[in-house]
Structure 1
């Protein structure tokens, strides 16, 4: 059977790989660069820059303690050059990996016309189609929005901005604020409502006071107009600095308009098998909305691929772990199926304890913070907020146990690797069980 996948981001790339592994005939069409937003404009770029800021932060800490004396000279131009060089290497590897399963990769802009796909003047018929065209930064309808930067522009900036106004209050806004504040920019974050509403109050407080203390956070603040070097807020106040929009994502669903059913927010409507309203047409990843996360896009792409190859499969969105890439990792997960009142929950929170990457933080009292909320009746974890160098792996592991329905007694058999997961070990095994 002929399978066409449009878009090679996490959903399309992993979906086409899965189809290739299952022995299917696959054509993968990509408009720009293989691996999509994640590698080329998104989380991989953020992680690369955050690696730099972590080093800067650690260097500053060691200098303050007096056992290391060094001065750093930062070349943003060279950082960008090396990120691009690494991206080119990874693109080649991703292409080789896909082609190793016999998949055909075509670069060009695709269009859908009845039962065939057109790209570069050629027409391709298909038995199954997967639309995985991703999403792009959402730009709010404000005067002067054309002056604003987005994550797509990070590798186009010539030098570190002296002043930066980040418009948005979510994870991306926080990550960008951390990066440029650490690189020396004077940063304002302008959140229309609440900043970092994804986190619990104590975890948010830790981020503000310990991780991004130099960032000026303005909540319940709307921007009315943007200029090249300033923004005007709803109250008439002006803030100097380049505007940077971190205001969410909008789906690249134009290719499917009039072909499959769209949701009110213009994302492609799919069921739990990633099927659209058209038979044998599937969609996966950011273009379908929901969790705009690389691991979720991968999961959806693989689910769609298995169904395209007649291996029935359903996607599940229970207990999805998330993180912020900052100078200390912040991770969180919630079990949405546990509904209980405040009287039925117990919450335990402790400062992080010394471990890889945090031993020297003890001197500054900046060892992190972990908080776990329990359902006392069901004896299960309801929510975790964890700030520590190991929180990403800790929370990913614990989210799996939550998803599988383990109760707190089952965690007694968890054997940690000292000192990586000590925070969760101390809370769950020593303080609760």
Structure 2
């Protein structure tokens, strides 16, 4: 067998497709469902539910304006039913896409024995192996942790919880809080340190005041014990509500233990070609740590596949765009390689102006907020925080220009589509250049 890929999430699936395109023999092994966490338990589920909450938010706004009178009757059970129905369709499409390149797909739990992969009682030898087994929710070691829900349980709920205690302070905690607070839950977010450290203060302030005003944020707190319908804090306070753990991810690296080198956090150690400590064994996606993002996993999987096929390339993590899927998206990117001094930094922040899906928000001033930090000395963009309905596409596009190291003068030729990149366009072209 020429190439074996274990795991069909974004990294493994895209690696298999790339190898198939390169006319290489591929066997893809998947333990559960094709497309991994993203489609089946993660970001696709979050996006599906957020589509519902955006509609609820718009409906409430139009009712408040008085030109639409409607009363919504939300069936969480029916939402879950339709999400699962959609997932089944997408799994079939993903499988057909992979098989269209001649790839062999096997469902079963794999194990590695040297130069052999075992699955369903069969053994397969390989020339190259890619481990793309992903990650799972990290559950903190506290008393009663078995009562806590995670993102894996969202589609197992039969109704919206009346009260919810979300333990965690990152992006997943924020997205879950937005969904269930909009659906009617009383939501507490319990952050061990600071909530949303990924965002700067101005963007976070806008988000909490304008997008998630009904969510109660408690920072610098720890959970002592979890119960089925409440949590006990270390300071002795009790908070009613189902516990929900959004405390990070832990790698599914057990399959590689004792076979290749692991990092201290038990992620698989790889170089910039996605090679492990064994020359013909590669790893990609969440199991390697770093940015736990679907686009990054895809990028890593494709890079690994090309190296497995003999087309040598290296991966680069620079200016990675990220977003929070909320009733209004909050997207951000930072140039980690910037050596800009404090005196050479210049920051411009403005409220959003009319853009897609923003016209009716003008009446209440809920049009978003965008902030761009510039490197005056080198004439570059250092950082962007953008809260707007078009921020996901805006920031992704601008992050590419940052990654390509474009000079700010080059942005003068940028012609936007209206209404889309209004805030970014205004700051970069009209207020800076």
TM over 0.5: yes
* Match runs of 1:214-363 below 5 Å: 214-363=214-363
Q: In the alignment, what sits opposite 2:43?
A: 43
Query: Is 1:139–2:123 an aligned residue pair?
Result: no
Shift of 1:356: 1.1
Whole-angstrom CA distance in 1 between matches of 2:395 and 2:234: 39
Whole-angstrom CA distance in 2 between matches of 1:59 and 1:326: 16
Q: In the alignment, what sits opposite 1:212?
A: 212
Please give the secondary structure, in 1, of the residue aligned with 2:362.
helix
Whole-angstrom CA distance in 2 between matches of 1:76 and 1:137: 23
Unaligned runs of 5+ in 2: none
Please give the secondary structure, in 1, of the residue aligned with 2:363.
helix
Q: In the alignment, what sits opposite 1:155?
A: 155
Please give the secondary structure, in 2, of the residue aligned with 1:34.
coil
Q: In the alignment, what sits opposite 1:106?
A: 106
- 1:139-194 per-residue CA deviation (whole Å, 9 max, x = no partner) reads 00111000000000000011100000000000000000000000000000000000
Whole-angstrom CA distance in 2 between matches of 1:139 and 1:380: 41
Shift of 1:27: 0.1
Please give the secondary structure, in 2, of the residue aligned with 1:28.
strand
* Match runs of 1:2-41 below 5 Å: 2-41=2-41
- 1:36-60 per-residue CA deviation (whole Å, 9 max, x = no partner) reads 0000000000000000000000000
Shift of 1:2: 0.9
Q: In the alignment, what sits opposite 2:386?
A: 386
Whole-angstrom CA distance in 1 between matches of 2:431 and 2:180: 39
Whole-angstrom CA distance in 2 between matches of 1:345 and 1:364: 32
Kindly report the root-mean-square deviation, in angstroms, between the aligned alpha carbons of the 2 structures: 0.5
- 1:328-347 per-residue CA deviation (whole Å, 9 max, x = no partner) reads 01000000111223211000
Please give the secondary structure, in 2, of the residue aligned with 1:172.
helix
Unaligned runs of 5+ in 1: none
Whole-angstrom CA distance in 2 between matches of 1:27 and 1:419: 45
Q: In the alignment, what sits opposite 2:77?
A: 77
Whole-angstrom CA distance in 1 between matches of 2:407 and 2:178: 36
Whole-angstrom CA distance in 1 between matches of 2:111 and 2:84: 29
Please give the secondary structure, in 2, of the residue aligned with 1:139.
coil
Whole-angstrom CA distance in 2 between matches of 1:200 and 1:171: 14
- 1:394-420 per-residue CA deviation (whole Å, 9 max, x = no partner) reads 000000000000121110010000111
Whole-angstrom CA distance in 2 between matches of 1:408 and 1:206: 27
Q: In the alignment, what sits opposite 1:193?
A: 193
Please give the secondary structure, in 2, of the residue aligned with 1:164.
strand
Please give the secondary structure, in 1, of the residue aligned with 2:95.
helix
Shift of 1:9: 0.0
- 1:62-120 per-residue CA deviation (whole Å, 9 max, x = no partner) reads 00000000000000000000000000000000000000000000000000011100000
Whole-angstrom CA distance in 2 between matches of 1:32 and 1:122: 18
Please give the secondary structure, in 2, of the residue aligned with 1:332.
strand
Whole-angstrom CA distance in 2 between matches of 1:63 and 1:402: 41
Please give the secondary structure, in 2, of the residue aligned with 1:199.
coil
Whole-angstrom CA distance in 2 between matches of 1:298 and 1:212: 31
Whole-angstrom CA distance in 2 between matches of 1:5 and 1:212: 41
Please give the secondary structure, in 1, of the residue aligned with 2:176.
helix
Please give the secondary structure, in 2, of the residue aligned with 1:340.
coil
Query: Is 1:120–2:110 an aligned residue pair?
Result: no
Shift of 1:236: 0.5
Structure 1 runs of 4+ with >3 Å offset: none
Please give the secondary structure, in 2, of the residue aligned with 1:231.
strand
Please give the secondary structure, in 2, of the residue aligned with 1:270.
coil
Number of residue pairs aligned between Structure 1 and Structure 2: 433
Q: In the alignment, what sits opposite 1:427?
A: 427
Q: TM-score, normalised by structure 1?
A: 1.00
Whole-angstrom CA distance in 1 between matches of 2:201 and 2:339: 19
Shift of 1:5: 0.0
Whole-angstrom CA distance in 1 between matches of 2:235 and 2:6: 45
Q: In the alignment, what sits opposite 1:203?
A: 203
Whole-angstrom CA distance in 2 between matches of 1:168 and 1:344: 35
Please give the secondary structure, in 2, of the residue aligned with 1:18.
helix
